[in-house]
């Protein structure tokens, strides 16, 4: 097995309320080195989260918690 193939960055695309972009970016990037957020389409609230190898479960769990808590309102999501 190629070790580089198993250690690739995961991409997670979310469409959220545009007013929540800054908040979500701040929360995710406060977990230093685990993930970064890039805004794809600000008017639609489309963002891309690049997740470091080995951190997918933690970031997914964090996003799920924020959704359940009502801190973010996800309109659509997908992994790439």
Domain boundaries, the chain: 9-73
DSSP state letters, 16-48: E-GGGHHHHHHHHHTSTTTEEEEEEEGGGTEEE
pTM for the whole structure: 0.86
* Contacts of 36 by beta carbon, 8 Å cutoff, 6+ apart: 28, 29, 49, 50
Asked whether the predicted pLDDT for residue 5 surpasses 80, the reply is no
Which pLDDT tens digit goes with each residue over 6-50? 578 999 999 999 999 999 999 999 999 999 999 999 999 999 999
CATH number of 9-73: 3.30.1370.120
- Segment 52-74, tens digit of pLDDT: 999 999 999 999 999 999 999 99
């Amino acid at each position: 097995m190629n070790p580089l193939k198993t250690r690739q960055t995961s991409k997670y695309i979310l469409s959220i309320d545009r007013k929540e972009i800054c908040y979500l970016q701040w929360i995710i990037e406060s977990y230093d080195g685990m993930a970064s957020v890039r805004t794809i389409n600000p008017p639609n609230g489309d963002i891309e989260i690049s997740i470091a190898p080995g951190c997918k479960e933690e970031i997914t769990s964090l996003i799920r918690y924020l959704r359940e808590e009502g801190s973010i309102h996800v309109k659509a999501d997908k992994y790439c």
